[in-house]
Structure 1
């Protein structure tokens, strides 16, 4: 890690500090000054005291300098204690804006990075600064420590006219040797720690398996206690083996530095005894020499200790800023705004092909498709046909590898990313219920009394009676993760909440990515019966490998191995002996009600 990199991260951090907490800088200034001068109060006092005794100064003089010393010492000590406590508190407070920045970056980060293992590991390393708040405290304390040591060096240089230069050279040499040893140990241990992060990530996943309600049924049904415990034991064995290496390295480094320090103490003691016997060193100057020598040792040791802490923790801080400065490729394309209207636009796929990063295999192959405004399109095909990937491209979770997607005649890359996203509402197969109120799960807004849009959607999705029967109605908390009086909705009810959420957004384009995969065919068909009543005046795209949705569609697109193999209306596709007809005939025995296209 270069010094330039350390300075860059240090500058980035202090820009953050200056923006979010200027008080920290003021407090740190007084902490640095008080800590730097505190050791020298006693040194100077005892020089004057011993000189006063040696030269038979008056008792009143001794009392006066003692009182002065006590006043200065008490003031300086209290300032140091208060500012030390305050810097610790404020350094922890800085974790709040840093965490906020990290979360914001995680949300804004291109979706493709959420599936990239190298980026996931980068995020884990970046989170280490936040999850272990002592790192930030130690880093800022190291910066303050460097300034303290530099000021103390200046004071020592002023007082060092009586110091034997050889002592300074000796202390400097030993300190440099100890610094090199510690630096190598910390560098090794940082690399080992980086190796341990994926292991620790697996450990957190194992804990989640054992405690998360999402896995509770499978864990109990299949009797996974021993299976999970075994995985946990193996993981901890792997983790502890890395910890043992770290401890072994630290032990070696500690023994080496202790050895060099003992040699230093013996040599300095011999020199000082020689100066007392043969150089007529006075009591006052001997005291200054002893204490300044010790202080020089402490200051030099503190300087390099702070520098090593700065160097080591800078690795973690570098991971944090590296993640924070990751560029968003999708957001840095166009800036054309879309005026959000109820009227949907025309969507066109022009020769679209796509493969995932680091995988040259084409998932989507030369797709040409037009979705007219207000049209209901059903995309069907077997699992792995490319249905969801095609929609990911439309939603700009990924950019196409070749070709283009147009909205109202313009490439979607020309639009401002956030503006474009507002025209789309989606219900995914793995929709999420957040541990907040029903109202917030639908609107993602603070509670608004008499929000008639929400009530209307609850009624449309046959949830109004259920919600009105709850003690807190729309303000009832979903899940019991944080609230004892929260509720757990059934799968079907949760799905309807997800529909309400998508409809509340009032986007002109609605996408349903296999939202009914967990429902029975009859329940799925009933869902589409109801849903056909609320999608009028919107462009709607349904993705499914089951065909109950085809009865409400204007057009049907059949994908197979990333290509469009059939396209047309339900009747047109039933007129040819193809994939769609075969799929429909296999599944049609389950569908009891037919819905005419809206």
Structure 2
């Protein structure tokens, strides 16, 4: 965590403004017009009482026309300026929201391009949670700061004009208001520091409670939750995380309430000083009309200073989270690798040379001094009990994990010399955890929406025995999968989903095929069919078959 003293607030704001200039320069036009209108608007309410009282105290019926003219003029001018103020803010705010949405897109790009090792690192997801916090609301984080930055120039102009006007009456009034301003800022900063120190706790608790919430809304968990009575356990864990989250929040709120009394006291003292000075001015000869104007000016300035202090405090506080967001984006999370292109051979040779591996931030080796070689065109079965590290070997082989010690070579070239994306292109893998996407069948097989080779998709589906099933779908291969996005999406059984994953690997047509427990969800007949056709499915390629059952490798 960055220390409070090193927090680069101005650098963060500069970066946010640079993003506006790059993404939506029109916001600066709306800001200029809004600032002028919003700076003028408060003065209508300050000047009007003076003009009306000045005419009414004369007690002359002839002044009725003047009073009416003042009121009508006020209504017209205030309506015009108020309309401009509202219109410009309404035009600007959707553009600010778009900036936040673009930021979310940047987080998405960062995550999907991050090296796979981070996908199994809880620390990474805690940092991601904090980055998302800066983009998850219209009122806080990135968008909230942009709103305040949009509003604050008008407040500053109005404050400066009122400071000059009131200072001409008695500078002591300003002293009371300024003391109250700094007390308000101090309270806000103190509360925020207290909250920011606990952001790790909040992010971790928020991630956990979101997991439990999403689990109850995930169709795939529905049967197990009901049949095994898991709802009580899930609810208990959810409530535990909620209680911890609320306990931390209560600490923050209690501190805010306690310090709030200090702010209230300084406000009361400031008001007492203001009224005392103005009443003395009336005694010394100030007109009632002037008294009403200066009183309205002081009240307006007090409100504006409070608003100004809240806006400044908000910007300082929330840019902490924006800074976390930029920090996350600036982290070097990309897959580490060399510059070598993918090998274009039809088959590959893989060699593990004294390979050892342990997960980041752990001391226990999952694999120790592993040596083996797969020759070109060879088919190898890796058999072992559950948890023996079979899937870890696959992840090392295809470059998802980097070895801790030793070396892996592909066609005698060290794997670390390959560009990671080029490396991934050399492998077609069917993992035991099947992920069907809410895309069409075609897109699930081809993993793209453009340039799909229909003949290759059809052939891949036929080779895994899904042709008949696809033919029964209302839209055939254009049928959407899952119901999470489209109500008429189709849900495949576990076995059908596994076949779809195998079809995806066949369509990719890479030099090496790896099947990690590919028949785990298949029925006996479908499993036998895959076994019998395995040689045909991987014909001409180097292949690795992972299983925990020795019989399945015969």
Out of 349, 352, 355, which is 2:355 matched to?
352
d(CA) in 2 for partners of 1:496, 1:525: 13
d(CA) in 2 for partners of 1:191, 1:108: 30
User: Does the 8 Å contact 1:388/1:513 carry over to 2?
Assistant: yes
> Are 2:152 and 1:149 equivalent residues in the alignment?
no
User: Does the 8 Å contact 1:162/1:289 carry over to 2?
Assistant: no
**Counterparts in 2 of 1:522 and 1:307: CA distance versus 1, 3 Å:** same
User: Does the 8 Å contact 2:427/2:510 carry over to 1?
Assistant: yes
Out of 334, 339, 355, which is 1:335 matched to?
339
d(CA) in 2 for partners of 1:484, 1:71: 52
Out of 76, 85, 89, which is 1:80 matched to?
85
Cα-to-partner distance string for 1:435-472 (whole Å, 9 max, x where unaligned): 22211211123377881111111111111122112221
User: Does the 8 Å contact 2:209/2:238 carry over to 1?
Assistant: yes
d(CA) in 1 for partners of 2:229, 2:288: 79
Which residue number in structure 2 is paired with residue 361 of structure 1?
364
User: Does the 8 Å contact 1:379/1:387 carry over to 2?
Assistant: yes
Out of 314, 330, 338, which is 1:309 matched to?
314
User: Does the 8 Å contact 2:137/2:143 carry over to 1?
Assistant: no
**Counterparts in 2 of 1:503 and 1:163: CA distance versus 1, 3 Å:** farther
Q: Secondary structure at the match of 2:139?
A: helix
d(CA) in 2 for partners of 1:97, 1:305: 27
d(CA) in 2 for partners of 1:249, 1:261: 19
**Counterparts in 2 of 1:451 and 1:291: CA distance versus 1, 3 Å:** same
**Counterparts in 2 of 1:285 and 1:141: CA distance versus 1, 3 Å:** same
**Counterparts in 2 of 1:389 and 1:348: CA distance versus 1, 3 Å:** same
Out of 116, 119, 137, which is 2:121 matched to?
116
Q: Secondary structure at the match of 1:374?
A: coil
Q: Which runs of 5+ in 1 are unaligned?
A: 552-598
* Distance apart, 1:429 and its partner CA: 0.5
Which residue number in structure 2 is paired with residue 462 of structure 1?
465
> Are 2:258 and 1:249 equivalent residues in the alignment?
no
User: Does the 8 Å contact 1:528/1:548 carry over to 2?
Assistant: no
> Are 2:106 and 1:101 equivalent residues in the alignment?
yes
Cα-to-partner distance string for 1:138-170 (whole Å, 9 max, x where unaligned): 221222233233322432355356231111112
TM-score (norm 2): 0.89
Which residue number in structure 1 is paired with residue 193 of structure 2?
187
d(CA) in 1 for partners of 2:394, 2:537: 21
d(CA) in 2 for partners of 1:29, 1:288: 28
* Distance apart, 1:72 and its partner CA: 4.1
Q: Secondary structure at the match of 2:449?
A: coil
User: Does the 8 Å contact 1:525/1:548 carry over to 2?
Assistant: no
d(CA) in 1 for partners of 2:254, 2:425: 55
* Distance apart, 1:199 and its partner CA: 2.6
d(CA) in 1 for partners of 2:494, 2:54: 87
User: Does the 8 Å contact 1:338/1:420 carry over to 2?
Assistant: yes
d(CA) in 1 for partners of 2:169, 2:358: 71
**Counterparts in 2 of 1:471 and 1:521: CA distance versus 1, 3 Å:** closer
Q: Secondary structure at the match of 1:504?
A: helix
User: Does the 8 Å contact 1:334/1:417 carry over to 2?
Assistant: yes
Range 472-481 or range 264-273, more displaced: 472-481
* Distance apart, 1:264 and its partner CA: 1.1
> Are 2:530 and 1:530 equivalent residues in the alignment?
no
Q: Which runs of 5+ in 2 are unaligned?
A: none
d(CA) in 2 for partners of 1:224, 1:370: 45
RMSD: 3.0
User: Does the 8 Å contact 1:145/1:302 carry over to 2?
Assistant: no
Which residue number in structure 1 is paired with residue 178 of structure 2?
172
**Counterparts in 2 of 1:448 and 1:359: CA distance versus 1, 3 Å:** closer
Which residue number in structure 1 is paired with residue 297 of structure 2?
292
* Distance apart, 1:303 and its partner CA: 1.8
Cα-to-partner distance string for 1:223-251 (whole Å, 9 max, x where unaligned): 23433333344343333333433443333
Q: Secondary structure at the match of 1:478?
A: coil
**Counterparts in 2 of 1:479 and 1:64: CA distance versus 1, 3 Å:** closer
* Distance apart, 1:42 and its partner CA: 4.3
Out of 367, 384, 387, which is 1:384 matched to?
387
d(CA) in 2 for partners of 1:433, 1:470: 16
* Distance apart, 1:123 and its partner CA: 1.4
**Counterparts in 2 of 1:3 and 1:105: CA distance versus 1, 3 Å:** same
Q: Secondary structure at the match of 2:380?
A: strand
> Are 2:489 and 1:486 equivalent residues in the alignment?
yes
User: Does the 8 Å contact 2:179/2:266 carry over to 1?
Assistant: no
